[in-house]
Structure 1
Amino acid sequence: MARMIRALRSLLPVLAVPALPLAAQAERATIAHDHVRQVQASSTAATEFEGRPMFEPRHLVDDRGWSAWGSRPDDRDGAWVRLEFDSVQYVDEVRFVAGHNRDHTFYKACGRPARIRFSAGDQSQVVDFKDLYEQSARFDPPLVGGALTVTIESVHGTSKHGGVCMSAIT
């Protein structure tokens, strides 16, 4: 047993990796919904389903796969969503579901992001996306700030319900 412990201790320098400051370690990740204080959008489509607004910005972070945010039809290219956090966040990856996740008919009935500008603090990165359902973007270095603005610069497809739709963002 003692020999095994000595062997493991000899490996420690090899296994050690540089660490971020403790504050950064705790906050560095994709977008955790419990850190989102508020969600704002450039516009919201007026479509209702069963008497309730169908495309509210808060639907991006409500952990319900069948809900979505959708901009007005006249607010496609340039539509934006702003996620305000409860503290400074280090975002090194953003994942989202393009279009409306309810079913294939809803998915095709909504415009889907083709190019997005992600901005936090004084940093900004533009990412092009294929017309796929689940998407992700990685940032190295991470975007750091108290809010993340997602600006849709161009859109795939047409839209019967709203300008552009997204079902979830993490």
Structure 2
Amino acid sequence: MSPQYSIELLGSKHHRAAFSCGIEALDRYLREQASQDMRRRANSCFVAVDTVTSALAGYYTLSAAGIPCTDLPEHLLKKLPRYPFVPVALLGRLAVDKTFQGKNLGAALLGNAIQRSLRSEVAVAAIVVIAKNEQAESFYRHHDFLLFGNLPRQLILPLSSYRLNT
């Protein structure tokens, strides 16, 4: 039987201490900083909870951002109004606990982030991420993200070709 997950907003009921994805900075963020960032409205943190054990299986953060149009490739600009900045959702972090890795949970979390971005009442044209390492960059590129801008491993996923799942 494969585990089932509920993806929900991080709250005080979630036990974060046992979460370990193998990257200390991502583990520490969830344990020590995520709630503070949410209270400060810097981002929202969504967690995947194993519905059988209530363990935190993974998480991601989303926040609103804007990127200069000058950073975008021309083929993406053709589909957008000519404003100085393009509204985007920033996928700040995405991590899966070691126990749940290799089960496509990362892809499920990314899909959830895409759907949340499409459902948002604040319009965004794309999702942007700065991948932490080559493995993360490979993950995002596998899911159709494109390199853009001047920063290394900065990727964008235009939402124009996605539809809202109802």
Determine if the TM-score, normalized by the shorter chain, exceeds 0.5.
no
Q: TM-score with structure 1 length normalisation?
A: 0.31
Higher relative contact order (CA 8 A, sep 6+): 1
The answer to which structure has the higher helix fraction is 2
TM-score (norm 2): 0.31
Q: Which has the larger radius of gyration?
A: 1
